[in-house]
Amino acid sequence: MRREDREKYLLFYSIYTLIESPKIMGDQSMDAKIIIVSVILLVIGIGIGYGVAAVSMPPAGAETVTTTMTETKTVTKTVGATTTTPEELTTKNVYTISWDQLVELAKEEGEVVWYGFGSTYERDFFTELCSMFEEETGIKCTYVHGSWFDTVQKLISEKEAGKEVGDIDVVLAWSKPFAMAYEAGAVWDVNLAEIIPNAKGIPFVARYFHDMYPTNGRHLPILAWWVGFLYRKDLLKYPDDVPTSFDELLDWVKKNPGKFTYCDPNKGGSGHTFLIGLAEWFYGYDKFAFAEFSEERAAEIFYSKGKYDMNFWEYLNELEKYMYQPGNYPQGNKATIELFEAGEVVLIPMWVSITMQEVEAGRLDPNWVGMYIPEPTMPGPFDGVFIPFNAPRKAAALVFINWLLSDKVQALIPQKIGAYPAVTEAWNLVPGEVKNKPWWPINDPYNDLVKWRKYGPLWYRHADYMFWMMEKWIDEVARK
Partner 1 sequence: MKITKEDLISIIFLLPLYIFLIVVVFIPLVNVVLGSFGISLFGEESRLTLEGYYKFMAPDSPYLYSLFFTIYISAIATVISILAGYLFAIYLTIKKPPVWRRVSTIMTIPLFTPYIVGAFMWWTLLFPRGYISLVINGLLMRLGLIHEPLPLVNDPYGIGILFGEVWIRFVIAVSIFYGPLQMINPELIDAARSLGANTWQIITKIFIPLTKYSIIATSAIILLATMAGVSIPLVLGGSWPQFLNVMIYLDVTTTFNYLMAFTSGVFYIIASATLGYIFFRFTMRRVIIQTR
Question: Which residues of the chain form contacts with partner 1 (CB under 8 A)?
Answer: 149, 157, 160, 176, 180, 264, 266-267, 325, 327-331, 335, 338-339, 342-344, 467, 470-471, 474-475, 478-479
Mapped onto helix, strand or coil, the DSSP state of residue 230 is strand
Q: Which is nearer to partner 1, 454 or 480 (CB)?
A: 480
Q: How far apart are CA 152 and CA 209, in angstroms?
A: 19
Q: Which is nearer to partner 1, 230 or 469 (CB)?
A: 469
Q: Which is nearer to partner 1, 266 or 447 (CB)?
A: 266
Number of H helices, E strands in the chain: 20, 13
Half-sphere exposure of 248 (CA within 13 A, CB side): 14
Q: Which is nearer to partner 1, 267 or 416 (CB)?
A: 267
- Taking alpha carbons only, the member of 50, 114, 58 closest to residue 86 is 58
Q: Which is nearer to partner 1, 269 or 379 (CB)?
A: 269
CA angle 112, 409, 223 (to 5 degrees): 85
Q: Which is nearer to partner 1, 107 or 145 (CB)?
A: 145
Burial 163-175 (b: 16+ CB within 10 A, else e): eeebbbbbbbbbb
Q: Which amino acid is it at 15?
A: I
Q: CB under 8 Å to 425, separation ≥6 — which residues?
A: 201, 407, 450
Q: CB under 8 Å to 470, separation ≥6 — which residues?
A: 265, 266, 272, 275
Q: Which is nearer to partner 1, 7 or 471 (CB)?
A: 471
Structural contact between residues 469 and 313, judged by C-beta atoms closer than 8 angstroms = no
- Taking alpha carbons only, the member of 177, 196, 175, 174 closest to residue 186 is 177
Q: How far apart are CA 87 and CA 57, in angstroms?
A: 16
| Minimum CB–partner distance for residue 266 and partner 1 (Å) | 5
Q: Which is nearer to partner 1, 442 or 470 (CB)?
A: 470
| Minimum CB–partner distance for residue 368 and partner 1 (Å) | 15
Q: How far apart are CA 171 and CA 113, in angstroms?
A: 9
| Minimum CB–partner distance for residue 400 and partner 1 (Å) | 28
Q: Which is nearer to partner 1, 26 or 257 (CB)?
A: 257
Pairing of strands 62-67, 73-78: antiparallel
Q: How far apart are CA 449 and CA 461, in angstroms?
A: 18
Q: Which is nearer to partner 1, 117 or 208 (CB)?
A: 117
Query: CA-based Rg of the chain, rounded to a whole angstrom?
Result: 31
274 membership: H or E segment, kind and range: helix 269-283
67 exposed, middle or buried (CB, 10 Å; 0-12, 13-18, 19+)? Answer: middle
Q: Which is nearer to partner 1, 20 or 183 (CB)?
A: 183
Backbone φ and ψ of 88, nearest 5°: -135, 145
| Minimum CB–partner distance for residue 77 and partner 1 (Å) | 45
| Minimum CB–partner distance for residue 238 and partner 1 (Å) | 26
Distances (CA, A) of 28 to 17, 22, 24, 34: 17, 8, 11, 10
Structural contact between residues 339 and 205, judged by C-beta atoms closer than 8 angstroms = no
| Minimum CB–partner distance for residue 268 and partner 1 (Å) | 11
User: Dihedral of CA 365/366/367/369: which sign?
Assistant: positive
Q: How far apart are CA 157 and CA 146, in angstroms?
A: 17
| Minimum CB–partner distance for residue 480 and partner 1 (Å) | 9
Q: How many residues does the chain have?
A: 480
| Minimum CB–partner distance for residue 463 and partner 1 (Å) | 11
| Minimum CB–partner distance for residue 158 and partner 1 (Å) | 12
Q: Which is nearer to partner 1, 237 or 321 (CB)?
A: 321
| Minimum CB–partner distance for residue 327 and partner 1 (Å) | 6
| Minimum CB–partner distance for residue 260 and partner 1 (Å) | 15
| Minimum CB–partner distance for residue 335 and partner 1 (Å) | 7
